[in-house]
Amino acid sequence: MTGRLEGKVAIVTGAAMGLGAAIATLFAEEGATVLLTDVAEEAGRATAARLARPGLFLRHDVSSPEDWDMVGRAAVEQFGRIDIVMNNAAILIPGSIEDADVADWRRVQAVNADGVFLGCRMAVRAMKRSGGGSIVNIASVGSHSGEAYAAAYCASKGAVRSLTKSVAVHCQNQGYGIRCNSIHPGTIDTPMVRNLREGLGLPPESPVAGDPRQFAYAALYLASDEALLVNGAELLVDSARTVTPPAPRAS
């Protein structure tokens, strides 16, 4: 590896599996000390144990302000500062506008929207004291194109998309040296996507999914000093899904 994050301290939420695990793994390979968080403790500790350099795993409910305070304190106490916060944790509960349950709606917003708000707030408070940093929020192509079967999820990712820009402008205006950007993945081969396909009765290969490792390189770029001039941006990692019509179904 090339050491693109050498000496950096990174927090990655939802890091037990899927995109979060791929991001944490790549960040460690590139020289970062990684604090991984998730509610899935066993899988999270297993991912932390496989990293290229020692890290730390903490059980963390991203919808909890108290948990975010705990994670921020732990990072500073253990590693001295926070350079990167990767707000990745998310859930998807299927439901169209007609059949979505109110309790499910609120749970999705709590994790996906409130969790990113709390993560950004903690990051800004910590990073402004240490001279800056990079916040990367994982949104979705669903915030651009919509998905009929995922009303709550798409709404939550739309909130992430807009919040990212608000945070970026605020930090720029304040001169904090903090960047905030969002990444919008298309279909990536993760446990959440596989479970969703199974629940919706979709074939495993429809549509073709990207590899989490490939996606992680987009996160690496925005987290690194290579992207110092990139702030408030949206990076779509979707194989042109949002700019091309879906392929016709085979007859």
Contact 28, 4 (CB under 8 A): no
Q: Hey, is 165 helix, strand or coil?
A: helix
Q: Which residues are catalytic?
A: 153
Q: How far apart are CA 188 and CA 43, in angstroms?
A: 19
Contact 66, 32 (CB under 8 A): no
Using the 8-state DSSP alphabet, how is residue 249 labeled? P
Contact 137, 120 (CB under 8 A): yes
pLDDT exceeds 80 at position 248: no
Residue 190 pLDDT class (50, 70, 90 cuts): low
DSSP string, 51-89: SSS--EEEE--TT-HHHHHHHHHHHHHHHS---EEEE--
Q: What is the pLDDT of residues 63-121, one digit of tens each?
A: 999 999 999 999 999 999 999 999 999 999 999 999 999 999 999 999 999 999 999 99
Amino acid identity at 205: E
For the question of whether the overall pTM of this predicted structure is more than 0.75, the answer is: yes
Amino acid identity at 38: D
Q: How far is CA 70 from the centre of its chain?
A: 19
Q: How far is CA 75 from the centre of its chain?
A: 18
Q: What is the pLDDT of residues 140-160, one digit of tens each?
A: 998 888 888 899 999 999 999
Q: How far apart are CA 179 and CA 120, in angstroms?
A: 11
Contact 63, 106 (CB under 8 A): no
For the ranges 6-10, 155-159, 176-180, 210-214, the lowest mean pLDDT is seen at 210-214
- Name the residue with higher pLDDT: 160 or 207: 160
Q: What is the mean pLDDT of residues 54-60?
A: 97
The fold of 9-239 is Rossmann fold (3.40.50)
Predicted local confidence at residue 205, as pLDDT? 54
